């Protein structure tokens, strides 16, 4: 029908209408949407603001552009309509996504970090969390390693839990996604990144909910912060655009330590042995082969230049009633570590339509299929980087015919491991929701959402007989399904011009079921027999299901008077199957108030501020990451409980029906300002977050027959400042330069540990680890190590400090003191965006200052005796003490401290401060004239080149060591690494074509 | 519109109510404490679970191994530091081997306490198939296993009865099951050895009265009586020891096996009164600690570690009287972990499955107890000591003795029960040094012929008392 009408109207007096669209200053405005009202006919203005559209006399043209007031013009006799658009006086009235709703940015009194589409559209990243890096104050992201798929450690306002996980809740289009560790631990307790299943190109914006005012609506899951991801939607009343983005990326490692070659290794070992034995000892005497007899460059051999291809297609558009976005995505990524690559294919469809005046319906659906060839991350003999560092360079990898050789020690021939073994992870994930929105009468909206997060992983391991006699196959198959519904009722009564009230009532129910099957099999006749059934001894390692359910009721009320005084309150009641029977329901609340000072006359009179507001909030949120049945008394069944082929059960976990969520109370105070005609925006906030009822494992007296019980006993506090400064440095017709800068400080204090916790010499309760120690009254994370002084230039002995600060040559564990902290004094990011004519250049830097890192692997890579002296070492070890006056790295080989040198001490603790050029992108958009010459098919072509991790400013002692690594997401192990593979340095070149 | 609102409100209420019901989720891979007593299968499973705990290498394996090498039967050549410490009488409270034994002992006791404490309250009307007789048997089995474990713990962590007539400190007696509440009930003082023995005696008397005479391979009345006989022997209550041993012998449930094939995965042999049955399909016995110890330590490589060969003293003891089938058929020549040529026992032969059974109580021991108790008591309950000993010698292919004294009975006892974990207590209760020609460190009453109370207990129980000695 519509089609027929289209034809009919085409026979009417259709003509070309053209003109120029300019902004309020008269500068041409490109990209303005122009639509014939009531039709799907539309166009966009070109780079010079010109447009041309077919319309009939009497038609209404609608001109719309973000930040400008929409203009409507009726087509008259003239064929020319020039439009000057007016800046939307409420430019800040951009709508941002918050928990269970939207709000005008100007009126938000919650503390949220917003990363808008403009900030990320030109970033080329492998996974979505990298979009957040350095972009938002209070959000710290440490990429675990350069191994593909490894999870980043994401912290919103620091660590708020000790045992229950500190990762924020991630919500994609209203669906809180699962982030259980469903894969095998491949060295480094970081697991697979839950965000690696989301196509970054589909993401329109990210909102980080930080204070209780923002997060308490997520109740028992909000304590670690919430990250809301909104995927791209279509645009109403706009012409359909097709964007094709194609790029190729080359990646290599950022930094690797300098280690010895085979001959250097032989020379060093022979020199040391000669000195120690007092008689000349040759490398042959040591069984290392003669100088010049060859060896293997293991570290070189595990690296490569990874070549990756990305293809991304987005189709976006909409009519008056319907808007849509389709996305297609294919990534073939090759890591810079041998054996590590990933193929991801994804599709997305987001569509919504107005069925009639009171009903709207739509659906957001993303599907990803992923295949990842995994390598071990670190501290595992199968981890390419760890093993390549440690393997002796004199060990040969291949015989003369090129066949793999066994290494002869427990450190394997890593080339053979990677080449012959298979470790493949296949993932299929669907995240989506369908919704209806009913507006029964003005001011009331009932939104009904049904969402799903369906994750299926299958991890296959097949170890070859060369590496594992008899071979080994293992399949871990996990399915994690979450079904949920959100029902919200929104009520905005009109109660006069000056009063704005918004009421939200909602309900949220989720069911999650995780099913796991883990089977291994050994005894394979040949490597050609690939699968479980062909091994002689299959074993079921796990076969279990973990169901959880959550039911929440929530409400939020927001009121403002003339946009000047704003108050907001929210409450949520959460029931969870995880909580103990006595604490099944938790109540979480928040209250916030804001004052828009710039609406007051006394500020207006200053004629300085464009916008100025103060806000404060207080409230509570919970952390429900307690496991599946943490409160029940449980008995184990299976092989562990049987006797003489009879099945039995044995006690496993004592009952704790009082068990409940960890609860955080946050106070947040903030200021937002814009001045100098919008040139400068400055926001600051302070927060104090106290987490109570921290879940700690209380050790039980052995007479109970149990080892420990989880109880809500601990207390911890995080305080911090967050600053954001955005400036428009230059704004002219051809040249624009904007800078945004953010800085975060966080102080952590453990207020209380369990009463039966171990105490230190001062009687303070502690949680002790080999490297770190959490101390009651101090930060959760302290490096607690022996202090290393250096090599005495006169004696050639290594020297440490004892607990009293006196020099010692033989320190013990009692000499450990607090030596540093993995928590930075401040961290953040800086982004600069420069456009000059058709060129754009942006560079994003992130930084961290004042934190220490401990590279535990240096205990092996330094010194002479680790693992019996068979391992390779860093080049600085060649600088051993020879004579008085030497300023040596390594003590004298004849010193009694020579083999103590590399014991665990702050010698392995390094200053982790850095400033890194995370991303630099140079783009060039073809001018309209060129596009015209190409036949007008294309509405835009942008060519770009991106480099990531191009350079890093860091201390000299970090030579060869990437400061931005961590090997564990456990809050108690932050800033520690063994030999985590460094981040990738990559260069990519691509084109984005729009038509 | 009003209708729509009403419908929405109605739906919301209905949905809310139905959702709250769904928050009660039942585990599928564990049994919850709230339901574990609600079916016959799980109640039986609770009892099987106690037997399963008894399979732990830290209760049946390590204590026996340690008993043999702390004394003069085994020359320990292994490399585990925690075992070396014990071998050299330098055991510290941080020793991981004894730590596991302490933990596993009290874990078994907890599993038994759960049944003993909670099963009486379960009504047979509520559980299909459960009868009062079954309840009685289940509780009696739990009491037997609890007594067996307390006896093991008090023998290892306290000086024997002979040290001060049982007035010295034994181990804490826990009778309650921890259900998540107050921990102070589980921070108990140590009871005296006499108190612990009395507790064990009562459990065994209850078990002997309630258990069936024949209960397959599970604990039966004879098992309880046999352990009681051993308890009385250790306490030098000769008349009761002889009487109980005689009751077991004359019950007709058990007879001396004609040869020694009962060691080889043969739990149904008439020789056995109670066996810790290890099977190939057992799987891991515990999440941490030791699994099967017997096969691993008592066998030479390949198949075992070769850590626990015969001591020269034991080889000599057998050599003194040639033709003893207990040496000829139950030993093999092989080199040990230190590369020395020596002999190993073949009492734990299942190196293929690593699943040889633990000999806990067998009829031979009853003859030995009856002989020793009768001799000491000047009685001949059942039969004379000479006849009892000759019976065993005949099976071993040795000639009859004309007369027996305590030394002859002890030697016979040693040759019969070597590698089965009796030797240490046999020497200590007879006031003999654990090592031939041994110094004060291995003398009866020395601080480290017993174990320290483990660090984990000391740190978590303010009421516990450590044993004397530098721990």
Nearest to A946 by CA among A846, A847, A841, A831: A841
pLDDT tens digits along A494-521: 888 889 999 999 999 999 999 999 999 9
Q: Is residue A900 part of a domain?
A: no
Helix, strand and coil in chain A, % to nearest 5: 10, 50, 40
CB contact under 8 A, A644 and B279: yes
- At residue B90, what are phi and psi to the nearest 5 degrees? -125, 30
The predicted structure's pLDDT at residue B119: 96
Q: Could you report how far apart the first and last alpha carbons of chain A are, in Å?
A: 27
The dihedral over CA atoms of B17, B20, B26, B32, expressed in degrees to the nearest 10, equals -120
pLDDT tens digits along A835-848: 998 999 999 999 99
Dist. CA B220–CA A848, nearest whole Å: 70
Contact A451, A486 (CB under 8 A): yes
pLDDT tens digits along A369-379: 999 999 988 87
Q: Is A651 on the interface with B (CB under 8 A)?
A: yes
Q: Is residue A495 part of a domain?
A: yes
Q: Is residue A714 part of a domain?
A: yes
How far is Cα of residue A544 from the mean position of the Cα atoms in its chain?
29
For the question of whether the overall pTM of this predicted structure is more than 0.95, the answer is: no
Q: Tokens for B382, please give them.
A: 């059942």
CB contact under 8 A, A507 and B52: no
Q: Is residue B17 part of a domain?
A: no
**Chain A residue closest to B25 (CA)?**
A577
Dist. CA A183–CA A81, nearest whole Å: 61
Contact A354, A426 (CB under 8 A): no
The predicted structure's pLDDT at residue A4: 37
Q: Is residue A643 part of a domain?
A: no
A220 and A164 housed in the same domain: yes
Name every chain B residue with its beta carbon within 8 A of the beta carbon of A575: 19-20, 23
Nearest to A264 by CA among A392, A422, A153: A392
Dist. CA A186–CA A379, nearest whole Å: 9
- Digit-by-digit pLDDT tens for chain B (471 residues) are 556 656 666 666 666 656 677 888 888 888 888 899 999 999 999 999 999 999 999 999 999 999 999 999 999 998 888 999 999 999 999 899 999 999 999 999 999 999 999 999 999 999 999 999 999 999 999 999 999 999 999 999 999 999 999 999 999 999 999 988 888 899 999 999 999 999 999 999 999 999 999 999 999 999 999 999 999 999 999 999 999 999 999 999 999 999 999 998 888 999 999 999 988 766 555 555 556 788 889 999 887 889 999 999 999 999 999 999 999 999 999 998 888 899 999 999 988 777 889 999 999 999 999 999 999 999 999 999 999 999 999 999 999 999 999 999 999 999 999 999 999 999 999 999 999 998 999 999 999 999 999 988 988 888 999 999 877
Q: Is residue A512 part of a domain?
A: yes
Q: Is residue B384 part of a domain?
A: yes
How far is Cα of residue B214 from the mean position of the Cα atoms in its chain?
20
How far is Cα of residue A236 from the mean position of the Cα atoms in its chain?
32
Burial of residue A805 (CB within 10 Å: 0-12, 13-18, 19+) is: exposed
Q: Tokens for A888, please give them.
A: 């040596």
pLDDT at A532 over 70: yes
Burial of residue A304 (CB within 10 Å: 0-12, 13-18, 19+) is: middle
A70 and A188 housed in the same domain: no
Q: Which residue, of A59, A84, A109, is where some domain finishes? A: A84
Q: Is residue B86 part of a domain?
A: yes
**Chain A residue closest to B32 (CA)?**
A634
Count CB pairs under 8 A between chains A and B: 202
pLDDT at A172 over 60: yes
A344 and A478 housed in the same domain: yes
The predicted structure's pLDDT at residue A393: 94
A242 and A150 housed in the same domain: yes
CB contact under 8 A, A639 and B284: yes
Q: Which residue, of A36, A53, A84, is where some domain finishes? A: A84
Report the SS3 class of residue B378. Answer: coil
Report the CATH number that the domain containing residue A222 is assigned in CATH: 2.40.170.20
Choose, out of B180, B181, B186, the residue to mutate when testing the contact with A (most A CBs < 10 Å).
B180
Report the CATH number that the domain containing residue B223 is assigned in CATH: 1.25.40.390
Contact B112, B25 (CB under 8 A): no
> Who contacts A649 (Cβ-Cβ below 8 Å, separation ≥6)?
A635, A636, A637, A641, B31, B36, B42, B45, B46, B48, B49
Dist. CA A261–CA A872, nearest whole Å: 9
**CA contacts within 13 A on the Cβ side of A178:** 31
A234 and A172 housed in the same domain: yes
> Who contacts A223 (Cβ-Cβ below 8 Å, separation ≥6)?
A160, A161, A215, A621, A622, A623, A661, A662, A663, A664, A691
A15 and A38 housed in the same domain: yes
Dist. CA A891–CA A882, nearest whole Å: 8
Report the SS3 class of residue B5. Answer: helix
Task: Share the mean pLDDT of chain A.
Answer: 89
pLDDT tens digits along A120-158: 877 777 778 888 888 888 888 877 678 887 777 888 888
Nearest to A437 by CA among A505, A484, A483, A488: A488
Number of domains in chain A: 2
Q: Is residue A743 part of a domain?
A: yes
Dist. CA B352–CA B159, nearest whole Å: 38
pLDDT tens digits along A433-451: 999 999 988 889 999 999 9
Maximum CA pair distance of chain B? 111
The dihedral over CA atoms of B338, B340, B345, B348, expressed in degrees to the nearest 10, equals 40
Dist. CA A720–CA A563, nearest whole Å: 28
Q: Tokens for A153, please give them.
A: 């450690």
* Residue A93 pLDDT grade (very low, low, confident, very high; cuts 50, 70, 90): low
How far is Cα of residue A901 from the mean position of the Cα atoms in its chain?
37
Q: Is B121 on the interface with A (CB under 8 A)?
A: no
How large is the average pLDDT for residues A779-795? 93
**Taking the alpha carbons of A764, A768, A771, A773 in that order, is the dihedral positive or negative?**
negative
Q: Is A440 on the interface with B (CB under 8 A)?
A: yes
Highest mean pLDDT (candidates A11-15, A46-50, A577-581)? A577-581
Q: Is residue B306 part of a domain?
A: yes
Element (DSSP H or E) covering residue B7:
helix B2-21
CB contact under 8 A, A632 and B24: no
Dist. CA A243–CA A328, nearest whole Å: 10
Dist. CA B46–CA B36, nearest whole Å: 8
Q: Is residue B185 part of a domain?
A: yes
Q: Is residue A256 part of a domain?
A: no
A678 and A776 housed in the same domain: yes
A841 and A735 housed in the same domain: yes
A58 and A106 housed in the same domain: no
CB contact under 8 A, B178 and A654: yes
Domain extent, residue B397, equals 41-460
Choose, out of B178, B284, B353, the residue to mutate when testing the contact with A (most A CBs < 10 Å).
B178
The predicted structure's pLDDT at residue A5: 37
Report the SS3 class of residue B134. Answer: helix
Burial of residue A440 (CB within 10 Å: 0-12, 13-18, 19+) is: middle
Interface of B with A in 266-295 (CB under 8 A): 267, 277, 279, 281-287
A489 and A465 housed in the same domain: yes
Rg (CA), chain B: 25
Dist. CA B3–CA A268, nearest whole Å: 89
DSSP per-residue string spanning A7-41: HHHHHSSEEEEEEEEE-TTS-B-TT-EEEETTSS-
Q: Is B454 on the interface with A (CB under 8 A)?
A: yes
pLDDT at A2 over 70: no
A176 and A238 housed in the same domain: yes
pLDDT tens digits along B69-97: 999 999 999 888 899 999 999 999 989 99
Choose, out of A644, A657, A813, the residue to mutate when testing the contact with B (most B CBs < 10 Å).
A644
Contact B11, B19 (CB under 8 A): no
Dist. CA B258–CA A312, nearest whole Å: 82
Cα of B126 to nearest chain A Cα, Å: 20
**CA contacts within 13 A on the Cβ side of B421:** 22
The predicted structure's pLDDT at residue A13: 61
Residue position matching structure tokens 């400068």: A680
pLDDT at A295 over 80: yes
Number of domains in chain B: 1
CB contact under 8 A, A576 and B287: no
Contact A259, A303 (CB under 8 A): no
The predicted structure's pLDDT at residue B60: 93
pLDDT at A972 over 50: yes
Report the SS3 class of residue B427. Answer: helix
Q: Is residue B163 part of a domain?
A: yes
Q: Which residue, of A35, A55, A84, is where some domain finishes? A: A84
Q: Where are the alpha helices (DSSP H) in A548-679?
A: 601-604
Dist. CA B18–CA B425, nearest whole Å: 64
pLDDT tens digits along A5-24: 333 444 446 788 888 888 77
**How large is the ipTM?**
0.90
A334 and A465 housed in the same domain: yes
Report the CATH number that the domain containing residue A22 is assigned in CATH: 2.60.40.10
Domain extent, residue A545, equals 95-249+304-626+661-782+821-855+914-994
Q: Is A634 on the interface with B (CB under 8 A)?
A: yes
Residue position matching structure tokens 């499955």: B353
């Amino acid at each position: 029908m519509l089609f027929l009408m289209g034809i009919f109207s085409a026979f009417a007096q259709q003509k070309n209408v053209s003109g120029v669209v300019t902004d309020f200053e008269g500068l041409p405005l490109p990209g303005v949407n122009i639509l014939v009202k009531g039709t799907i006919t539309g166009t966009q203005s070109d780079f010079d603001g010109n447009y041309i559209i077919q319309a009939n006399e009497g038609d209404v043209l609608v001109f719309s552009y973000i930040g400008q007031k929409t203009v409507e013009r009726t087509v008259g006799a003239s064929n020319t309509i020039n439009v000057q658009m007016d800046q939307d006086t409420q430019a800040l009235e951009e709508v941002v996504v918050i928990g269970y709703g939207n709000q005008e940015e100007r009126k938000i009194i919650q503390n949220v970090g917003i990363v808008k589409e403009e900030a990320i559209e030109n970033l080329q990243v492998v996974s979505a969390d990298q979009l957040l890096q350095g972009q938002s104050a209070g959000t710290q992201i440490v990429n675990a390693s350069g191994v593909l798929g490894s999870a980043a450690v994401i912290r919103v306002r620091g660590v708020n839990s000790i045992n229950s996980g500190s990762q924020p809740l991630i919500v994609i289009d209203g669906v809180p996604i699962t982030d259980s560790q469903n894969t095998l631990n491949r060295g480094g307790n970081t697991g697979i990144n839950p965000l690696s299943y989301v196509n970054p190109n589909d993401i329109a914006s990210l909102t980080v909910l930080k204070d209780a005012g923002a997060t308490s609506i997520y109740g028992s899951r909000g304590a670690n912060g919430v990250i809301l991801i909104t995927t791209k939607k279509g645009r109403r009343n706009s012409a359909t655009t097709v964007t094709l983005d194609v790029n190729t990326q080359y990646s290599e490692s950022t930094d690797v330590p300098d280690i010895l070659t085979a001959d250097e290794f032989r020379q060093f070992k022979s020199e040391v042995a000669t000195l120690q034995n007092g008689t000349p000892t040759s490398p042959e005497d040591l069984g290392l082969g003669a100088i010049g007899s060859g060896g293997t460059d293991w570290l070189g051999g595990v690296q490569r230049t990874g070549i990756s291809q990305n293809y991304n297609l987005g189709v976006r558009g909409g009519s008056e009633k319907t808007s849509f976005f389709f996305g297609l995505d294919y990534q073939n990524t090759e890591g810079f570590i041998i054996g590590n690559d990933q193929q991801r294919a994804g599709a997305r469809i987001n569509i919504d339509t107005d069925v009639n005046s009171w009903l709207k319906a739509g659906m957001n659906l993303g599907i990803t299929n992923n295949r990842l060839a995994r390598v071990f991350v670190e501290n595992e003999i199968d981890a390419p980087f760890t093993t390549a560092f440690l393997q002796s360079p004199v060990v040969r990898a291949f015989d003369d015919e090129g066949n793999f050789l066994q290494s002869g020690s427990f450190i394997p021939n890593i080339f053979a491991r990677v080449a012959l073994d298979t470790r493949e992870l296949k993932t299929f994930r669907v995240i989506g929701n369908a919704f209806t929105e009913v507006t029964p009468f003005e001011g009331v909206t009932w939104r009904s959402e049904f969402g799903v997060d369906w994750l299926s992983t299958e991890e296959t391991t097949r170890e070859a007989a060369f590496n594992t006699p008899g071979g080994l196959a293992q399949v871990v198959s996990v399915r994690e399904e979450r079904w949920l519904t959100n029902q919200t009722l929104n009520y905005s009564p009109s109660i006069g011009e000056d009063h704005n009230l918004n009421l939200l009532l909602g309900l949220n129910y989720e069911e999650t079921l995780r099913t796991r099957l883990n089977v291994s099999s050994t005894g394979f006749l040949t490597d050609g027999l690939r699968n479980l059934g062909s091994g002689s001894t299959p074993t079921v390692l796990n076969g279990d299901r973990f169901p959880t359910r959550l039911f929440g009721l929530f409400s939020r009320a927001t009121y403002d008077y003339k946009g000047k005084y704003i108050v907001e309150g929210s409450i949520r009641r959460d029931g969870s199957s995880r909580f103990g029977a006595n604490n099944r329901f938790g109540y979480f609340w928040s209250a916030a108030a804001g004052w828009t000072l710039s609406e007051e006359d006394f500020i207006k009179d200053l004629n300085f501020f464009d916008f100025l507001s103060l806000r404060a909030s207080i409230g509570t949120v919970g952390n429900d990451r307690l496991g599946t049945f943490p409160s029940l008394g449980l008995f184990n069944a299976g092989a562990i409980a049987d006797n003489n082929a009879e099945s039995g059960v044995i006690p496993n976990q004592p009952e704790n029906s009082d068990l409940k969520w960890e609860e955080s109370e946050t106070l947040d105070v903030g200021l937002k300002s814009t001045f100098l005609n919008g040139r400068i925006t400055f926001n600051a906030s302070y927060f104090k977050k106290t987490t109570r009822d921290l879940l700690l494992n209380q050790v039980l007296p052995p007479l109970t027959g149990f080892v420990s019980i989880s109880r809500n006993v601990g207390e911890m506090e995080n305080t911090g400042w967050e600053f954001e400064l955005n400036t428009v440095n230059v704004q002219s017709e051809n040249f624009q330069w904007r800078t945004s800068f953010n800085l975060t400080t966080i102080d952590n204090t453990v207020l209380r540990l369990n009463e039966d916790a171990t105490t230190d010499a001062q009687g303070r309760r502690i949680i002790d680890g080999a490297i770190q120690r959490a101390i009651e009254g101090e930060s959760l994370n302290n490096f607690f190590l022996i202090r290393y002084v250096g090599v005495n230039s006169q004696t050639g002995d290594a020297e440490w400090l004892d607990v009293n600060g006196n020099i010692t040559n033989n320190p013990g564990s009692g000499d450990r003191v607090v030596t540093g902290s993995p928590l930075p004094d401040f961290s953040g990011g800086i982004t600069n965006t420069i456009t000059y004519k058709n060129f754009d250049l942006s560079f994003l830097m992130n930084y961290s200052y004042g934190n220490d890192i401990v590279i535990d692997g240096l205990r092996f890579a330094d010194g002479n005796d680790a693992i019996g002296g068979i391992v390779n070492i860093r080049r600085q070890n060649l600088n051993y003490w020879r004579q008085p006056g030497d300023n040596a790295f390594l003590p004298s080989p004849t010193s009694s401290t020579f083999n103590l040198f590399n014991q665990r001490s702050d010698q392995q603790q390094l200053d982790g401060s850095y400033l890194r050029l995370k991303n630099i992108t140079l783009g060039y958009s073809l001018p309209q004239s060129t596009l015209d010459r190409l036949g007008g098919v294309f509405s835009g072509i942008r060519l770009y080149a991106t480099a990531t991790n191009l350079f890093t400013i860091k201390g000299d002692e970090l030579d060869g060591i990437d400061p931005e690594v961590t090997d564990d997401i456990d809050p108690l192990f932050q800033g520690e690494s063994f030999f985590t593979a460094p981040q990738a340095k990559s260069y990519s070149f691509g084109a984005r074509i729009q038509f | 519109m009003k209708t729509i609102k009403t419908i929405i409100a109605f739906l919301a209420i209905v949905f809310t109510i139905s959702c709250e019901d769904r928050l009660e989720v039942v585990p599928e891979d564990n049994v919850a404490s709230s339901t574990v007593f609600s079916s016959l299968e799980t109640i039986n499973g609770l009892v099987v679970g106690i037997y399963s705990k008894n399979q732990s290498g830290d209760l049946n394996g390590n204590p026996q191994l340690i008993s043999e090498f702390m004394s003069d039967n085994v020359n320990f050549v292994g490399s585990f530091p925690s075992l070396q410490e014990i071998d050299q009488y330098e055991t510290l409270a941080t020793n991981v081997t004894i730590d596991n034994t302490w933990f596993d002992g009290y874990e078994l006791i907890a599993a038994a306490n759960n049944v003993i404490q909670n099963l009486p309250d379960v009504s047979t009307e509520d559980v299909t198939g459960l009868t009062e007789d079954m309840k009685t048997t289940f509780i009696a089995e739990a009491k037997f296993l609890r007594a067996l474990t307390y006896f093991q713990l008090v023998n290892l962590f306290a000086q024997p009865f002979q040290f001060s007539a049982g007035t010295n400190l034994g181990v804490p007696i826990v009778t309650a099951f921890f259900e998540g509440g107050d921990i102070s009930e589980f921070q108990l003082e140590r009871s005296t050895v006499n108190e612990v023995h009395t507790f064990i005696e009562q459990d065994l008397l209850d078990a002997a009265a309630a258990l069936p005479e024949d209960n397959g391979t599970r604990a039966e009345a004879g098992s309880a009586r046999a352990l009681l006989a051993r308890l009385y022997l250790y306490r030098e209550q000769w008349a009761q020891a002889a009487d109980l041993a005689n009751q077991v012998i004359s019950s007709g449930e058990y007879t001396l096996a004609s040869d020694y094939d009962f060691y080889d995965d043969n739990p149904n042999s008439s020789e056995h009164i109670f066996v810790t049955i290890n099977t190939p399909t057992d799987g891991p016995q515990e999440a941490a600690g030791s699994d099967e110890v017997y096969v691993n330590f008592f066998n030479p490589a390949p198949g075992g570690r070769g850590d626990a060969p015969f001591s020269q003293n034991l080889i000599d003891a057998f050599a003194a009287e040639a033709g003893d089938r207990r040496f000829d058929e139950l030993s093999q020549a092989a080199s040990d972990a230190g590369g020395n040529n020596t002999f190993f026992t073949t009492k734990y032969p299942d190196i293929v499955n690593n699943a040889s059974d633990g000999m806990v109580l067998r009829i031979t021991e009853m003859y030995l107890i009856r002989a020793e108790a009768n001799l000491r008591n000047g009685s001949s309950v059942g039969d004379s000591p000479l006849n009892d000993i000759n019976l065993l010698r005949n099976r071993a292919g040795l000639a009859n003795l004309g007369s027996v004294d305590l030394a002859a009975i002890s030697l016979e006892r040693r040759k019969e029960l070597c590698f089965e974990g009796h030797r240490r207590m046999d020497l200590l209760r007879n006031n003999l040094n654990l090592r031939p020609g041994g110094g004060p460190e291995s003398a009866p009453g020395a601080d480290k012929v017993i174990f320290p109370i483990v660090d984990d207990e000391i740190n978590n129980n303010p009421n516990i008392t450590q044993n004397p000695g530098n721990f």
